[in-house]
């Protein structure tokens, strides 16, 4: 088996697309209109365009348990998912300069360095660097 698509719940797909492409640097991969104004909307890492896709999923808008779960994670400061980085400090500096808000600055924890930011779409996202 392989990981092909992983979903991240978002409040607004268009806002999420803008954040994930313009701030984080991902590339739009698939954008297929669905019912009720929703889309099958995925982005990929510019460094692994044939790698796993992130589905920017509007589930919190249509499924109350997903909304409750997402909010509970966010309010507790727990990251919804994590992305790897070769250099967390460099990524932190780059994203901070673009106005991305971090709840945790780069912090060494044993064999990793991590930072956590708000994706503006209802999620905390962690970036991690193996030391």
Determine contact, residues 13/41, Cβ cutoff 8 Å: yes
CATH annotation of 5-130: 3.10.180.10
Global pTM value: 0.95
pLDDT the model gives residue 121 = 96
- Annotated domain spans of the chain: 5-130
pLDDT the model gives residue 112 = 98
pLDDT the model gives residue 61 = 87
pLDDT means over runs of 10, the chain (131 residues): 96 97 98 95 97 95 93 97 97 98 98 98 98 97
Q: What CA–CA distances, in Å, run from 94 to 24, 50, 59?
A: 9, 25, 30
> What is the H or E stretch that residue 102 is in?
strand 102-109
pLDDT the model gives residue 62 = 87
Cα–Cα distance, 86 to 88 (Å, whole number): 7
């Amino acid at each position: 088996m392989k990981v092909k698509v992983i979903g991240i719940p978002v409040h607004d797909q268009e806002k999420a697309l803008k954040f994930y492409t313009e701030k984080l640097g991902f590339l739009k991969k698939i954008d297929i209109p669905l019912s009720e104004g929703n889309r099958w909307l995925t982005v990929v890492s510019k460094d692994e365009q044939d790698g796993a896709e992130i589905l920017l999923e509007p589930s919190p808008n249509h499924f109350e348990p997903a909304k409750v779960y997402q909010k509970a994670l966010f309010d507790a400061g727990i990251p919804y998912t994590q992305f790897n980085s070769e250099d967390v400090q460099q990524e932190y500096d780059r994203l901070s300069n673009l106005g991305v808000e971090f709840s945790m600055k780069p912090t060494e924890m044993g064999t990793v360095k991590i930072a956590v930011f708000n994706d503006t779409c209802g999620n905390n996202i962690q970036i991690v660097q193996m030391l």
